[in-house]
């Protein structure tokens, strides 16, 4: 590209003020190199108004906004206490399950001890405490 | 950019005015979608998630138009990163936008670009051929209209590095545009 400074070519850093103008979307001086004008035009197109299809999501986003802004939306945002209630409701059974598991462990240990005493396999001093079969 | 009316528009939207919110949406959505098309293959989905998060956070937002845009594009980038992570968990697809067949970075068809002249789509396609960080910085600086300091915070670089990268990216973009025939 004649007249346009690329990295590694002489004058590569002299274009920085022009590049900054392009970034800031300011008009380039008329005597700026044509490739700079081309680049500015290209990026201006990119920063232009919405094209067909780009606002297709508006209805869904507006619906989400009106849900959040409505009294119902506010109350639904305040449903966290409900979730807490649900969490509390689930905490009860979880505790019950833990208690049941502990009770089953104790019962299994007791039954095991009785069975061990019955077949006379407990250590001597403990076996003496057990009633004779 | 909305400009002087931004403050009033924002306050109305924060008060539940749907028309004011739609004004914010229409102002930012084109730039948001174009930015997302450069950094993720799921641009529309990520844009939708971004706006949902904006809706949730809008009542608590404080700041001017620059800050609003910086906030929104920060959310968008996070959502795009999340989408990329979940995509890679699903199918080991790399985060970078690649051609599904060759695995090479997508390159726009030169003839197509020449035919489309300087349409938005062709320029987005051209920018997608740049290195990821170059493309992202161009989009945030030029399309989103963010200051170098805001872009630096979003991409995790210093403002100086953002400026240097933007210059390099623009030079490279001009070179690519000339090769592809995307000139004015």
The whole-number pLDDT of residue B91 equals 67
Indicate whether this model's pTM tops 0.95.
no
Kindly report, residue by residue over B154-178, the tens digit of the pLDDT: 999 999 999 999 999 999 999 888 8
A71, A121: one domain: yes
Domain annotation covers residue A51: no
A33, A66: one domain: no
Average pLDDT score over chain B: 86
Report the distance separating Cα B29 and Cα A75, nearest Å. Answer: 29
Domain annotation covers residue A5: no
A118, A70: one domain: yes
Of A125 and A27, more confident: A27
A97, A122: one domain: yes
Domain annotation covers residue A4: no
For A87, list phi and psi in degrees, rounded to 5: -65, -40
Domain annotation covers residue A8: no
User: Mean pLDDT, to the nearest integer, of A62-72?
Assistant: 87
Kindly report, residue by residue over A8-35, the tens digit of the pLDDT: 343 456 789 999 999 999 999 999 998 8
Report the distance separating Cα B174 and Cα B140, nearest Å. Answer: 18
Does residue B1 belong to the interface with chain A, where contact is any CB pair within 8 Å?
A: no
Of B38 and B181, more confident: B38
The whole-number pLDDT of residue A90 equals 40
CA B119 to chain centre: 17
- In this predicted structure, which of B91-95, B111-115, B168-172 has the lowest mean pLDDT? B111-115
Average pLDDT score over chain A: 73
Kindly report, residue by residue over A87-122, the tens digit of the pLDDT: 444 444 556 667 778 888 888 877 777 777 777 777
A67, A20: one domain: no
Report the distance separating Cα B158 and Cα B153, nearest Å. Answer: 8
Task: Encode chain A in three state secondary structure.
Answer: CCCCCCCCCCCCCCCHHHHHHHHCCCCCCCCCCHHHHHHHHHHHHHCCCCCCCCCCCHHHHHHHHHHHHCHHHHHHHCCHHHHHHHHHHHHHHHHHHHHHHHHHHHHHHHHHHHHHHHCCCCCHHHHHHCCCC
The whole-number pLDDT of residue A35 equals 87
Domain annotation covers residue A35: yes
DSSP state of B119: -
Q: Find out whether B122 and B176 touch, Cβ atoms under 8 Å.
A: no
- In this predicted structure, which of A99-108, A118-127, B24-33 has the lowest mean pLDDT? A118-127
Q: Which residues of A37-49 are buried (b: 16+ CB within 10 A; e: fewer)?
A: bbbbbbbebbbbe
* Enclosing domain of residue A87: 61-129
Q: Find out whether B38 and B136 touch, Cβ atoms under 8 Å.
A: yes
Number of structural domains chain A divides into: 2
A67, A110: one domain: yes
A122, A67: one domain: yes
Domain annotation covers residue A65: yes
Does residue B31 belong to the interface with chain A, where contact is any CB pair within 8 Å?
A: yes
**pLDDT for A5 beyond 80:** no
Strand partners, B105: B98
A22, A82: one domain: no
Domain annotation covers residue A26: yes
CA A28 to chain centre: 44
Q: How many CB atoms sit inside 10 A of residue B127's CB?
A: 28
Report the distance separating Cα B80 and Cα A1, nearest Å. Answer: 36
Nearest CA in chain B to A33: B174
Nearest CA in chain B to A54: B30
A85, A29: one domain: no
The whole-number pLDDT of residue B76 equals 98
Q: What percent of chain B is helix, strand and coil (3-state, nearest 5)?
A: 75, 0, 25
Q: pLDDT-derived band of residue A77, with 50, 70 and 90 as boundaries?
A: very low
Nearest CA in chain B to A41: B184
The answer to whether A42 contacts B47, with C-beta atoms less than 8 Å apart, is no
A82, A111: one domain: yes
Task: Give the nearest partner residue to A62 out of B21, B121, B171, using CB atoms.
Answer: B21
Work out the widest C-alpha separation in chain B, in whole angstroms: 50
CA distances in angstroms from B78 to A62, B97, B153, listed in the order given: 22, 16, 13
Report the distance separating Cα B75 and Cα B81, nearest Å. Answer: 10
Strand partners, B98: B105
Q: Which ranges in B16-147 belong to alpha helices (H)?
A: 18-39, 43-57, 65-91, 110-116, 120-127, 132-138
Q: Is B16 left (phi over 0), alpha (psi -120 to 50) or beta?
A: left
Touching A: B residues 93-132, CB under 8 Å = 118-121, 123-124, 127
The whole-number pLDDT of residue B69 equals 97
A35, A78: one domain: no
Q: Which of B172, B173, B131 is nearest to B155 (CA)?
A: B131
Q: Which domains does chain B carry?
A: 1-95 (1.10.1740.10), 98-184 (1.10.10.10)
Domain annotation covers residue A23: yes
The whole-number pLDDT of residue B118 equals 60
Chain B residues inside the 8 Å CB shell of A64: 51-52, 55
ipTM: 0.79
**pLDDT for B141 beyond 70:** yes
The whole-number pLDDT of residue A8 equals 38
A36, A71: one domain: no
For testing contact with chain B, the best of A1, A4, A36, A54 (most B CBs within 10 A) = A54
The whole-number pLDDT of residue A9 equals 40
Of B146 and B88, more confident: B146
For testing contact with chain A, the best of B18, B55, B166 (most A CBs within 10 A) = B55
**pLDDT for B53 beyond 80:** yes
Percentage of residues of chain B with pLDDT beyond 70: 83
């Amino acid at each position: 590209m004649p007249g346009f400074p690329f990295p590694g070519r002489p004058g590569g850093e002299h274009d920085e003020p022009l590049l900054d103008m392009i970034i800031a979307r300011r008009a380039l001086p008329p005597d700026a190199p044509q490739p700079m004008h081309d680049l500015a035009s290209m990026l201006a197109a990119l920063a232009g108004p919405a094209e067909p299809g780009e606002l297709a999501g508006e209805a869904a986003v507006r619906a989400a906004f009106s849900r959040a802004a409505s009294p119902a939306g506010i109350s639904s945002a305040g449903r966290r206490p409900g979730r807490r209630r649900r969490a509390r409701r689930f905490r009860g059974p979880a505790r019950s399950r833990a208690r049941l598991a502990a009770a089953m462990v104790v019962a299994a240990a007791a039954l095991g001890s009785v069975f061990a005493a019955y077949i006379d396999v407990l250590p001597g001093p403990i076996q003496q405490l057990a009633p004779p079969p | 950019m909305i400009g002087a009316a931004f403050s009033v528009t924002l306050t109305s939207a924060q008060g539940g005015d749907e028309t004011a919110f739609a004004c914010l949406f229409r102002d930012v959505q084109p730039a948001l979608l174009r930015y997302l098309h450069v950094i993720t293959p799921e641009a529309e989905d990520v844009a939708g998630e971004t706006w949902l998060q904006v809706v949730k956070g809008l009542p608590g937002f404080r700041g001017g138009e620059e800050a609003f845009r910086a906030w929104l594009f920060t959310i968008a980038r996070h959502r795009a990163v999340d989408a990329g992570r979940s995509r890679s968990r699903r199918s080991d697809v790399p985060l970078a936008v690649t051609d599904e067949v060759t695995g090479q970075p997508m390159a726009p068809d030169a003839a197509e670009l020449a035919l489309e002249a300087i349409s938005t789509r062709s320029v987005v396609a051209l920018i997608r051929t740049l290195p990821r960080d170059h493309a992202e910085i161009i989009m945030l600086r030029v399309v989103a209209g963010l200051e170098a300091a805001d872009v630096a915070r979003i991409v995790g670089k210093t403002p100086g590095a953002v400026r240097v990268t933007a210059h390099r990216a623009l030079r490279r973009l001009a070179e690519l545009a000339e090769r592809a025939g995307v000139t004015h």
